[in-house]
């Protein structure tokens, strides 16, 4: 089993499932299917409104569902579909997600921590992260 944050400071769904696909037959099949099926989301309607914001938790970029409160990995395509509620509040339309402009700086600072402590929340500054590491 691959743990997020082992090969990268912070993993996205893309990198996490890519790592899983390298491990063994059972994880390979389901991971490759998830990676390959992702293109189907681009065919869905995109909900209007403010994009959701990703956050880092335990070395994973994740997105909180603003409808049901569940959370999912962040995908590099910037689209969100909750596997719990299927975005029922938008009739299944995908939602856009944004990462912070200083993503790489955040990842660099979080990479200095143990995986269990690699957290970042929207609005938290790089200076705050640096102070926490001390």
Mind listing the pLDDT tens digit for each residue in 58-91?
999 999 999 999 999 999 999 999 999 999 999 9
Q: Roughly what angle, to the nearest 10 degrees, separates helices 103-110 and 126-133?
A: 10
Q: How many CB atoms lie within 10 A of CB 86?
A: 13
Rounded to two decimals, what is the model's pTM?
0.90
- d(Cα 128, Cα 35) in Å, to the nearest integer? 34
Number of helices followed by number of strands (H, E) in the chain? 4, 5
């Amino acid at each position: 089993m691959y743990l997020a944050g082992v090969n990268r400071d912070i993993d996205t769904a893309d990198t996490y499932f890519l790592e899983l696909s390298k491990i063994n037959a059972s994880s390979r099949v389901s991971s490759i299917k998830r990676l390959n099926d992702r293109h189907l989301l681009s065919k869905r309607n995109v909900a209007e409104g403010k994009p959701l914001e990703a956050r880092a938790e335990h070395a994973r970029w994740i997105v909180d569902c603003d409808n049901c409160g569940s959370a999912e990995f962040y995908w590099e395509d910037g689209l969100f579909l909750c596997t719990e509620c299927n975005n029922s509040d938008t009739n299944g339309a995908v939602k856009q997600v944004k990462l912070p402009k200083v993503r790489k700086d955040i990842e660099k600072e979080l990479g200095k921590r143990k995986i269990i402590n690699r957290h970042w929340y929207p609005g938290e500054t790089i200076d705050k992260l640096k102070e926490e590491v001390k």
